[in-house]
Amino acid sequence: MAEELVGNVLVGQSGGPTAVINASVAGVVSEALNHECIEEIYGTLNGVLGILQEDLIDLAAESQQAIRGLRTTPGAALGTVRYKLKKQQDFERILEVFKAHNIRYFFYAGGNDSQDTADKISKLAQEQGYALRVIGVPKTIDNDLVVTDHCPGYGSVIKYISTTVREIACDNAAMGQHDLVQIVEVMGRNAGWIAAGAALAKRRDHPHDPPHIILLPEVAFAPEKFVEDVKRVLKREKYCLIVVGEGLVDADGNYVAAADTTDAFGHAQLGGAAEYIQSLVEEHLPGIKARSVKLGNAQRAAAHLASKTDSDEAFLAGQRAVQAAVDGETDKMVTLIRGDGDHYTVETGLAPLSDISNGVKKLPREWINEDGVSMNFQFVRYAQPLIQGEVAVPFDNGLPAFAHLEKRRVEKILPAYEL
Amino acid sequence: MAEELVGNVLVGQSGGPTAVINASVAGVVSEALNHECIEEIYGTLNGVLGILQEDLIDLAAESQQAIRGLRTTPGAALGTVRYKLKKQQDFERILEVFKAHNIRYFFYAGGNDSQDTADKISKLAQEQGYALRVIGVPKTIDNDLVVTDHCPGYGSVIKYISTTVREIACDNAAMGQHDLVQIVEVMGRNAGWIAAGAALAKRRDHPHDPPHIILLPEVAFAPEKFVEDVKRVLKREKYCLIVVGEGLVDADGNYVAAADTTDAFGHAQLGGAAEYIQSLVEEHLPGIKARSVKLGNAQRAAAHLASKTDSDEAFLAGQRAVQAAVDGETDKMVTLIRGDGDHYTVETGLAPLSDISNGVKKLPREWINEDGVSMNFQFVRYAQPLIQGEVAVPFDNGLPAFAHLEKRRVEKILPAYEL
């Protein structure tokens, strides 16, 4: 048994929100209440910024209803941040705030950068001999954290996208008399994990089901091949449904949708990936209508359609972070470990924060079919368990009722800090 | 009692799909089974096109499971069409097909144009002394049919949009350190009914809730005022969430998002309304980030979030169409009539098809606040009952399971027809 460390908890959120990052906070808070060594449970507003500015709130003072409501509330209830700590002085300030409020347990939910920040805070505390336990909680729709089998947030975003694709497919199929190209733009600046997830919309043994073409950042975009691919689909099906990741790149590694560039055909580029694809279709396939949908922030906020598996795992990751810290662990992130059996099971583990912050998990090339625009059974086997189950979101007056924290401020002790 | 008319039913779908138009077909089919005067229940593939080409299917041969599944399946399971009958010959052909298949009951689910088509078919049958009963079933997300209080399809689209706005608001609020303008583009080429529906996302007594600005086709867009409106919101709130109807027009009545035009500032226009608004923000509000979401076809296909009230009314409209026809009515459309009480109730009525096809219901100007960018309580009182209740969509393997009809073809009797 590790030495008992008595003190307060601080939990924060960082990076892009997801449909389930609040479930992780709910997991931290509800587990923290189980341990006598934990006295106060604080949250930091807007991640490290809130620490620097001593903007802390008392999470134990929130109603139980509100904390339970976090399990089905999108966004980041504590506020999130993309602020990158640079100065050594920033890190010193953070420890100063921790000491002032007797923070002995720090839980940070976020992606690579956030885990890197948590790692640095942890290391500095060790150097200074300040007893602090730091455990990261994985969070990202991008699913690009290493070591962990997958990341909380990913299952929900691909459940939403594949549902949307299946629904749009019904709409498209209904207009069967028309030659229609439907484009759905999804997130994923650097990897195709999210776009690939749309493959789940296909029913088993229905190879003609949409999406017909998935454009991944992992496969250099070649406009000529693309136009031929679309022609082939239109010949075979009534319409062509294309899912495109916003981070699509050409053979030189440049974003196809970047402004002020020209494509392989020499045309000027405008706006997002969907518009680019739409303009290609309109130009090279006369008589074909192209329609686009850009899911934008809606996809990572769609709590009403969150995956129960994902939501439960996000909650579990928060709980396990607290348990690990109480057990004496520090400077680690909770990971999800998939069982070997045919039936999906998940356990949690721990990985050093430095391992997480230094790596990026790529979509395996061998999960992409040779055609470069569809996913094979290995991907489906990986992703399908992550979207299972529906979350019972409370509805009020016809709309999802989300939790709103009261955010009772913890009294500031220190002088103000200049950012 | 009307004279008993023995024969077959034909049901068709027309115009843009909705989340609940299939529920109307389910209503027609299940009600038709209750009447002995009805022998066969046929569907036409792709509306009037299917009639012209004698592409009919036997709906009574479909499994009960499939017909029940239609109640939660988006798109238009029979296929839809935007083909406009022009030639007298087309109408003659339609009657010829009706006679060949002893069609005595024709039910057509659609908007203005579709009801106009139904009206013309009905009138021609009367002229020729062919006993035929024609009843229209209202359908349109645009909510622009006259006489009826509202249209099946509308409640579901605004439930989806206001849910999405509420979810994106959580995401936006989380990024509180940033000055962010979030734009959500919704459908509505000629009227603001759909954009207005986003107002439901505001919680009662929370005037600061998004959407902060609703841009309606009913209010001529003035870029200078818009920029000032956004500045005011950004000063007051953490961010500014804007909902824009795709049919936004300037003071001259021109679409702001039309290609090859210039705006009031003299800038060239590209793509959709959201991009236009985004470009205005980026140009006139330096340092402000603008993000856009374009819901496109996803909004009218979102069966997973259909309004139960809407879905039930769509089913009811189908049932009532059959009942009315059996009772001897013809050349009418089923309407929805709202009760006078405080508690929302709905009854059905009938209106002449010619009344429907000749009118367009405008969003009442007095429901728009004086600021021109928000809706008042009269609109909320009208719209809120329409989004109540959630439909229990069957899920399979993590995704909504939609009905797929077997589409057993009715044998063709007539020679082929040249379109």
Taking an 8 Å cut-off on Cβ atoms, the answer to whether A297 and B172 are in contact is yes
Read off the pLDDT band of A269 (50, 70, 90): very low
Q: Chain A residue with minimal CA distance to B381?
A: A397
Q: Which of A46, A301, A400 sits opposite B177 (nearest CB)?
A: A46
Chain B residues whose beta carbon lies within 8 Å of the beta carbon of residue A175? 17, 79-80, 82
State residue B223's pLDDT score.
96
Taking an 8 Å cut-off on Cβ atoms, the answer to whether A295 and B293 are in contact is yes
State residue A265's pLDDT score.
55
Mean pLDDT of B2-6: 90
Read off the pLDDT band of B298 (50, 70, 90): very high
Mean pLDDT of A100-112: 97
Taking an 8 Å cut-off on Cβ atoms, the answer to whether B74 and A13 are in contact is no
Q: How far is A1 from chain B (nearest CA, A)?
A: 38
Residue A307 has pLDDT above 50, yes or no: yes
Q: Chain A residue with minimal CA distance to B388?
A: A398
At A222, give phi and psi (nearest 5°).
Answer: -120, 110
State residue A263's pLDDT score.
44
| Residue of A83, A159, A297, A396 to mutate, interface with B, max B Cβ within 10 Å | A297
Taking an 8 Å cut-off on Cβ atoms, the answer to whether A167 and B49 are in contact is no
Q: Chain A residue with minimal CA distance to B383?
A: A398
Cα A149 → chain centroid: 14
Spatial strand order of the sheet with B133-138 comes to B56-58, B38-44, B7-13, B103-110, B133-138, B332-338, B346-352
Read off the pLDDT band of A229 (50, 70, 90): very high
**Token digits for B262?**
């210039």
Taking an 8 Å cut-off on Cβ atoms, the answer to whether B164 and A298 are in contact is yes
Mean pLDDT of A142-171: 97
Taking an 8 Å cut-off on Cβ atoms, the answer to whether B168 and A397 are in contact is no
Read off the pLDDT band of A82 (50, 70, 90): confident
Place of tokens 């994902």: A310
Is residue A419 within 8 Å of A52, Cβ to Cβ?
A: yes
Taking an 8 Å cut-off on Cβ atoms, the answer to whether A400 and B271 are in contact is no
B388: nearest Cα among B155, B71, B198, B151: B155
**Token digits for B363?**
């969003």
State residue B358's pLDDT score.
83
**Token digits for B221?**
């867009």
Q: Which of B73, B175, B390 sits opposite A395 (nearest CB)?
A: B390
State residue B194's pLDDT score.
98
**Alpha-carbon gap, residue A179 to A165, rounded angstroms:** 18
Burial level of A84, CB count in 10 A (0-12/13-18/19+)? exposed
Taking an 8 Å cut-off on Cβ atoms, the answer to whether B384 and A398 are in contact is yes
| Residue of B159, B170, B242, B293 to mutate, interface with A, max A Cβ within 10 Å | B170
Taking an 8 Å cut-off on Cβ atoms, the answer to whether B297 and A182 are in contact is yes
Burial level of A345, CB count in 10 A (0-12/13-18/19+)? exposed
Residue A1 has pLDDT above 90, yes or no: no
**Token digits for A408?**
């009772």
Chain B residues whose beta carbon lies within 8 Å of the beta carbon of residue A173? 75, 79
At a CB cut-off of 8 Å and minimum separation 6, what does A181 contact?
A: A230, A234, A239, A240, A242, A278, A281, A285, A288, A289, A290, A291
How many other CB atoms are found less than 10 A from the CB of residue A83?
17
Is residue B10 within 8 Å of B105, Cβ to Cβ?
A: yes
Chain A residues whose beta carbon lies within 8 Å of the beta carbon of residue B175? 17, 79-80, 82
For chain A, give the number of residues: 419
Mean pLDDT of A234-243: 94
Residue among B90, B116, B142, B229 flagged as catalytic: B142
Q: What is the mean pLDDT of chain B?
A: 94
Measured CA to CA in angstroms, residue A72 lies from A304, A315, B154 at distances of 8, 11, 26
**Token digits for A40?**
């106060």
The three-class DSSP label of residue A56 is: strand
Taking an 8 Å cut-off on Cβ atoms, the answer to whether A74 and B159 are in contact is no
Q: How far is A10 from chain B (nearest CA, A)?
A: 18
Residue B261 has pLDDT above 90, yes or no: no
Residues of A with active-site annotation: 142
**Alpha-carbon gap, residue A296 to B250, rounded angstroms:** 26
Chain B residues whose beta carbon lies within 8 Å of the beta carbon of residue A390? 395
Q: Chain B residue with minimal CA distance to A294?
A: B294
Q: How far is A261 from chain B (nearest CA, A)?
A: 16
Residue A254 has pLDDT above 60, yes or no: yes
Q: What is the ipTM, given to two decimal places?
A: 0.96
Q: How far is A4 from chain B (nearest CA, A)?
A: 35
Mind listing the pLDDT tens digit for each residue in B90-132? 999 999 999 999 999 999 999 999 999 999 999 999 999 999 9
The three-class DSSP label of residue B277 is: helix
Taking an 8 Å cut-off on Cβ atoms, the answer to whether A168 and B402 are in contact is no
In three state form, how does the secondary structure of B37-105 look? Answer: CEEEEEEECCHHHHHHCCCEEEHHHCCHHHHHHHCCCCECCCCCCCCCCCCHHHHHHHHHHHHHCCEEE
**Alpha-carbon gap, residue B62 to A391, rounded angstroms:** 32
Reported as type and span, the H/E element at residue B336 is strand B332-338
Residue B4 DSSP symbol: P
Burial level of A413, CB count in 10 A (0-12/13-18/19+)? exposed
State residue B270's pLDDT score.
46
Q: How far is A131 from chain B (nearest CA, A)?
A: 31
**Alpha-carbon gap, residue A195 to A215, rounded angstroms:** 7
| Residue of B14, B171, B244, B404 to mutate, interface with A, max A Cβ within 10 Å | B171
Mind listing the pLDDT tens digit for each residue in B355-398? 998 889 999 999 999 999 999 999 999 999 999 999 999 999 99
Q: Which of B82, B166, B175 sits opposite A400 (nearest CB)?
A: B166
Q: How far is B388 from chain A (nearest CA, A)?
A: 4
Residue A366 has pLDDT above 50, yes or no: yes
Chain A residues whose beta carbon lies within 8 Å of the beta carbon of residue B174? 13, 17, 75-77, 79-80
Q: How far is A304 from chain B (nearest CA, A)?
A: 8
Q: Which of A168, A170, A301 sits opposite B170 (nearest CB)?
A: A301
Mean pLDDT of A98-125: 97
Q: Which of B83, B275, B298 sits opposite A164 (nearest CB)?
A: B298
How many other CB atoms are found less than 10 A from the CB of residue A74?
30
Q: Which amino acid is at A105?
A: Y
Higher pLDDT, B283 or A260: B283
Q: Which of B77, B291, B304 sits opposite A297 (nearest CB)?
A: B291
- Across the A/B interface, how many CB contacts are shorter than 8 Å? 185
Give the torsion sign (CA, B214, B220, B223, B225): negative
DSSP states of A80-146 as a string? -------SHHHHHHHHHHHHHTTEEEEEEEESHHHHHHHHHHHHHHHHHT---EEEEEE--TT---S
Chain B residues whose beta carbon lies within 8 Å of the beta carbon of residue A260? none
Q: Chain B residue with minimal CA distance to A163?
A: B399
A295: nearest Cα among A214, A159, A184: A184
Q: How far is B130 from chain A (nearest CA, A)?
A: 30
Cis previous bond, A211, omega within 30:
yes
Measured CA to CA in angstroms, residue A267 lies from A222, A261, A309, B260 at distances of 14, 8, 44, 16
**Token digits for B115?**
């009801």
The three-class DSSP label of residue A346 is: strand
Q: Which amino acid is at A306?
A: A
Chain A residues whose beta carbon lies within 8 Å of the beta carbon of residue B184? 298
State residue B178's pLDDT score.
67
At A180, give phi and psi (nearest 5°).
Answer: -125, 135
Least confident of A3-12, A34-43, A172-181, B155-164: A172-181
Taking an 8 Å cut-off on Cβ atoms, the answer to whether B298 and A296 are in contact is no
State residue B117's pLDDT score.
95
State residue A3's pLDDT score.
85
CA-based diameter of chain A, in Å? 73
Read off the pLDDT band of A270 (50, 70, 90): very low
Residue B272 has pLDDT above 90, yes or no: no
Q: HSE-up of B374 (CA within 13 Å, CB side)? A: 17
Read off the pLDDT band of B269 (50, 70, 90): very low
Residue B325 has pLDDT above 70, yes or no: yes
Higher pLDDT, A418 or B77: B77
Chain B residues whose beta carbon lies within 8 Å of the beta carbon of residue A156? none
At A223, give phi and psi (nearest 5°).
Answer: -55, -40
Higher pLDDT, B320 or A269: B320
**Token digits for B129?**
């002394």
**Alpha-carbon gap, residue B297 to A180, rounded angstroms:** 12
Mind listing the pLDDT tens digit for each residue in B189-217? 889 999 999 999 999 999 999 999 999 99
**Alpha-carbon gap, residue A325 to B357, rounded angstroms:** 69
Mean pLDDT of A246-274: 72
Residue B289 has pLDDT above 80, yes or no: yes
**Alpha-carbon gap, residue B309 to B175, rounded angstroms:** 35
Taking an 8 Å cut-off on Cβ atoms, the answer to whether B75 and A294 are in contact is no
State residue B190's pLDDT score.
86
At B135, give phi and psi (nearest 5°).
Answer: -130, 130
State residue A257's pLDDT score.
81
Q: Which of A75, A173, A397 sits opposite B171 (nearest CB)?
A: A75
Residue B260 — left, alpha, or beta (φ > 0 → left; ψ -120 to 50 → alpha)? left
Measured CA to CA in angstroms, residue B160 lies from A155, A414, B157, B203 at distances of 21, 46, 5, 16
Place of tokens 């659609």: B110
Kindly report whether the global pTM for this prediction surpasses the value 0.90. Answer: yes
**Alpha-carbon gap, residue B253 to B248, rounded angstroms:** 9
At B102, give phi and psi (nearest 5°).
Answer: 50, 40
**Token digits for B146?**
């006259």
**Alpha-carbon gap, residue A107 to A132, rounded angstroms:** 11
At a CB cut-off of 8 Å and minimum separation 6, what does A174 contact?
A: B13, B17, B75, B76, B77, B79, B80
Q: What is the mean pLDDT of chain A?
A: 94
Q: Chain B residue with minimal CA distance to A389?
A: B398
Chain A residues whose beta carbon lies within 8 Å of the beta carbon of residue B201? 399
A208: nearest Cα among A241, A164, A183, A174: A241
